[in-house]
C-alpha cells in the first residue's frame, strides 16, 4: 500500500529518475520527477510535497556537491517542514556531514540498494509524524542555538531572546 504521500525527485539524469520511479512507485502515492533544480520551488508552490529526494550535482563534470547543498538550503528556507534526502554518486564523509548540518534528513549514495532506499525514505517520513514533547523541542532548540554560537551562552541567550540566567535554568531543568 502506497501511503507515503508525494515524493519529489530531482536529478539531471533521466535514467536515474526512471529507475527511482520504478523502485518507489509502490511506496508513494505520487512521484514527481524534475531534471532541472530550477523548477523545485515552482513545483513545491503548486504541489503538496511530503519528501524531496535531491541529487547533489547538476552541472556536467562537477561533482563537489555544492549545487545540491545550495538547493537544499533553498528548499529548507522556503519549505522548512519538508524533509530533504540527498542523493549522490560522489559520496564522502565530509559532504554527508555538511549536508546533514545544512538540514538534510539523510544521505543516500548511488548506486543504491532498493530495499535500503525505501527503508530510509520511510524512516524519514515516519520521523516527521512522531509527536515530540515541548521539553524535547525546547531542548533541541537550545542546543542548536548554543552550537550556532559556538558555546557562547550569552550570545545563545540573546539569540533565544532570554536572559543568560533563564538559559542556565532551562538547561538545568532539561538535563
Is the pLDDT reported for residue 8 higher than 90? yes
What is the rounded average pLDDT of the residues 13-18? 94
What is the rounded average pLDDT of the residues 37-46? 96
pLDDT score recorded for residue 61: 67
What is the rounded average pLDDT of the residues 85-99? 80
Is the pLDDT reported for residue 2 higher than 60? no
Lowest mean pLDDT among 34-38, 58-62, 156-160: 58-62
Lowest mean pLDDT among 20-34, 41-55, 92-106: 92-106
Lowest mean pLDDT among 48-52, 74-78, 136-140, 149-153: 136-140
pLDDT score recorded for residue 54: 94
pLDDT in tens, 103-144: 899 989 889 999 999 999 999 998 876 666 788 888 888 988
Question: Which DSSP string do the residues of the chain spell out, in sequence order?
Answer: ---S-EEEEE-S-HHHHHHHHHHHTTT-SEEEEES-GGGHHHHHHHS--SEEEEES--STT--SSHHHHHHHHHHHHH-TTS-EEEEESS--HHHHHHHHHTT-SEEEESSPPHHHHHHHHHHHHHHHH----HHHHHHHHHHHHHHHTTT-HHHHHHHHTS-HHHHHHHHHHH-
Amino acid at each position: 500500500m502506497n501511503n507515503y504521500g508525494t515524493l519529489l525527485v530531482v536529478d539531471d539524469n533521466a535514467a536515474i529518475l526512471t529507475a527511482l520511479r520504478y523502485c518507489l512507485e509502490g511506496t508513494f502515492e505520487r512521484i514527481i520527477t524534475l531534471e532541472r533544480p530550477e523548477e523545485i520551488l515552482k513545483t513545491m508552490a503548486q504541489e503538496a510535497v511530503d519528501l524531496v529526494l535531491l541529487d547533489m550535482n547538476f552541472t556536467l563534470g562537477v561533482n563537489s556537491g555544492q549545487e545540491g547543498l545550495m538547493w537544499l538550503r533553498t528548499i529548507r528556507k522556503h519549505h522548512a517542514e519538508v524533509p530533504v534526502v540527498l542523493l549522490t554518486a560522489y559520496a564522502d564523509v565530509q559532504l554527508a556531514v555538511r549536508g546533514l548540518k545544512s538540514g538534510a534528513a539523510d544521505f543516500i549514495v548511488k548506486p543504491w540498494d532498493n530495499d535500503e532506499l525505501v527503508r530510509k525514505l520511510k524512516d524519514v517520513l515516519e520521523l516527521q509524524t512522531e509527536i515530540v514533547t515541548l521539553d524535547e523541542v525546547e531542548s533541541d532548540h537550545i542546543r542548536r542555538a548554543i552550537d550556532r554560537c559556538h558555546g557562547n551562552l550569552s550570545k545563545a541567550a540573546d539569540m533565544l531572546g532570554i536572559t543568560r540566567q533563564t538559559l542556565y535554568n532551562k538547561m538545568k531543568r532539561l538535563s
